[in-house]
Structure 1
Amino acid sequence: MAFAVEFDNVSTVGLQSSPVASALAGLRANEARYLKNKYNHEFVVEEADKDTKTLDYVNSILKKERDIEFSSRPLETSMFQVDNIQMAYVFYENGLEVNVMYTINDSKKRAVGFKLSEGMEVPKELEGKFKFARQKSKLAGSIRGSFFVIKNEY
């Protein structure tokens, strides 16, 4: 079932099984606020097991670009296009968010981002491979994030 994420009323709906559900809900709400403010886009997520297309897309990029396969269970996904940017999001049970921003007509503006919910450890799949910068968020507390540039066509 699709769920429109509200950033003025943070909810853990769909994320309850996560040990950091509140922080992950804040991270998801933070993304919703960003998308609304930057692109006037309503952020809608759905259960990951009902959206294999988005999971396959994100997983194929992670595998082909950096040989990354996450062991944590994906809880929610979202894929949409705003302007000329294809965006995909996956929220994992351990508190990780992976997002893909793939500019359709500019191969220099394509990246995969990782955001860690407050209170979670760096997943073993990312340990030592990325440096994480901290940012503060009223909705999500302290977010640690990193990214890599996508080199191939998808």
Structure 2
Amino acid sequence: MSYVVDFTDVSTVGLESSPVTEALAGLRANEARYYKNKYDHVFTTEPADEANETVDFVHRVLAEERDITIASKPLEASAFEVDGMRMAYVFYESGLAINVMYTIEDGGKRAVGFKLSDGMEVPEELADRFKFARQKSKLAGTIRGSYFVIKGE
């Protein structure tokens, strides 16, 4: 069952098993607010076990591009198209959020972004490979983020 993410009344629906539930819910709401304000897009998620195609896509990109396998359990996922870009999100039990963004036109932007919820440690599989910048958010506290550019198709 899909869930429309509300960024005015932050809910932990679907994220209850995370040790950083509140921070992860804030991170998810922060993403929802960004897409609503920038693109007038309503951010909707599904339980990860109902969004296998999206989860598999994100995991395949990570494996093929950087030989990364995420140890944490995926809780929710979202896939949508906005302003000529396709987006795929996976939110993990550890508090990690990963998005894959690529423009539909050839030669456009293609990247993978990582965001860490406030209070979580950098996952071992990312620790020595990426530097994380800090960003303050009213909804999510301190978000740490990093990314890499996708080189493949």
Above 0.5 in TM-score?
yes
Quote the offset at 1:83 in angstroms: 1.8
Residue aligned with 1:125, SS: helix
Distance 1:152 1:39 in 2: 27
Partner in structure 2 of residue 65 of structure 1: 65
Unaligned runs of 5+ in 2: none
Unaligned runs of 5+ in 1: none
Instruction: After superposition, give the CA deviation of every residue in 1:89-122 in whole Å (9 maximum; x if it has no partner).
Output: 0000000000011111143411000000000000
Instruction: After superposition, give the CA deviation of every residue in 1:52-89 in whole Å (9 maximum; x if it has no partner).
Output: 10011101100000000111000000001012100000
Partner in structure 2 of residue 43 of structure 1: 43
Distance 1:56 1:136 in 2: 30
Distance 1:96 1:103 in 2: 23
Q: Which amino acid aligns with 1:53?
A: E
Instruction: After superposition, give the CA deviation of every residue in 1:21-51 in whole Å (9 maximum; x if it has no partner).
Output: 0000000000000000011000000000111
Partner in structure 1 of residue 120 of structure 2: 120
Question: TM-score, length-normalised on structure 2?
Answer: 0.98
Residue aligned with 1:25, SS: helix
Moved more, 103-112 or 33-42: 103-112
Partner in structure 2 of residue 99 of structure 1: 99
Identity %: 67
Distance 1:56 1:120 in 2: 24
Instruction: After superposition, give the CA deviation of every residue in 1:105-150 in whole Å (9 maximum; x if it has no partner).
Output: 1434110000000000000000110000000000000000000000
Partner in structure 1 of residue 138 of structure 2: 138
Distance 2:70 2:107 in 1: 26
Distance 1:108 1:82 in 2: 14
Partner in structure 2 of residue 151 of structure 1: 151
Are the aligned partners of 2:102 and 2:108 in contact in 1 as well (CA < 8 Å)?
A: no
Distance 1:4 1:40 in 2: 13
Question: TM-score, length-normalised on structure 1?
Answer: 0.98
Distance 1:140 1:124 in 2: 22
